[in-house]
Amino acid sequence: MDQTTMYKLTYGLFVLTSAADGKDSGCIINTAGQVTSEPNRISIAVNNSNFTADLVKKSGKFNLSILSEEAVFDTFRHFGFQSGRTADKFAGFPDCRRSANGLYYVTAGTNGWISATVEQSLDLGSHTLFIASVEDMEVLSGVPSATYTYYQSSIKPKPAQPASPGKTVWRCKVCGYIYEGEELPADYICPLCKHPASDFEKVTG
């Protein structure tokens, strides 16, 4: 069985936003899609360690801002590489507006947004799958949506070359962070995006 077959699946990229108890937050997800058209429903899968997952469970509603090819790496860094438990991601963040459901959506580097109300949720262990009915939506631009592949090839910063020939570094395949050293500790966690050692690749100079 070829595990890399999974890479042939296509994914979009989204800022998932929600709010509860007066706190707004958002995170990056790559798992959203339409599941029925009549009535119009979408599904999202969210890692339970994300603060935004807690907010969706509490409030039963969320917004999905669809990232476009104009999205910049800072948007991924802002929403993806810090936790809403410790950072207020909307404090001083200019590129957002509130929709009729009271939640923020992101207006820069996005080509549309969808407001949805949770109908069902399924705890999958690491993630929760939410099935939600679409309440409102708007197209913001005609720029194509960013796919995960596009993010990897064109948005994520290009890796720095190893400092000197013959030197080995390890590169996080998710965010591009470079760990300098011959061997990467098995329990290493990327300091930028919090992905494990298995998401690093060896780069030999």
**Contact flags string 140-179 toward Fe ion, x per CB under 5 A:** --------------------------------x-xx-x--
CB of 188 to Fe ion, least distance (A): 10
The upper half-sphere exposure of residue 205, i.e. CA atoms within 13 Å in the direction of its Cβ, equals: 16
Cβ 5 to Fe ion shortest distance, Å: 24
Cα 181 to Cα 168, 195, 204: the distances in Å are 6, 18, 10
Nearer to Fe ion, 113 or 170 (CB): 170
Single-letter amino acid code for the residue at 108: A
Nearer to Fe ion, 137 or 192 (CB): 192
Element (H, E) at 77: helix 73-80
Interior/surface letters 106-123, b for 16+ CB within 10 angstroms, e for the rest: bebbbbbbbbbebeebee
Give the whole-angstrom CA distance, residue 103 versus residue 80: 18
Segment lying near Fe ion (by CB under 5 A), choices 31-39, 57-65, 110-118, 191-199 = 191-199
Number of residues that bind Fe ion (CB under 5 A): 8
| Kind and range of the H or E run holding 149 | helix 148-150
Closest distance of CB 83 from Fe ion, Å: 14
Q: Is 184 in the site for Fe ion (CB under 5 A)?
A: no
Task: Cis check for the bond before 39: say yes or no (omega within 30 of 0).
Answer: yes
Which of 15/174 has CB closer to Fe ion?
174
Figure out which of the listed residues 50, 67, 193, 200 binds Fe ion, where binding follows CB under 5 A: 193
Q: For Fe ion, which is the closer residue by CB, 118 or 169?
A: 169
Contact footprint for Fe ion (CB under 5 A): 172, 174-175, 177, 190, 192-193, 195
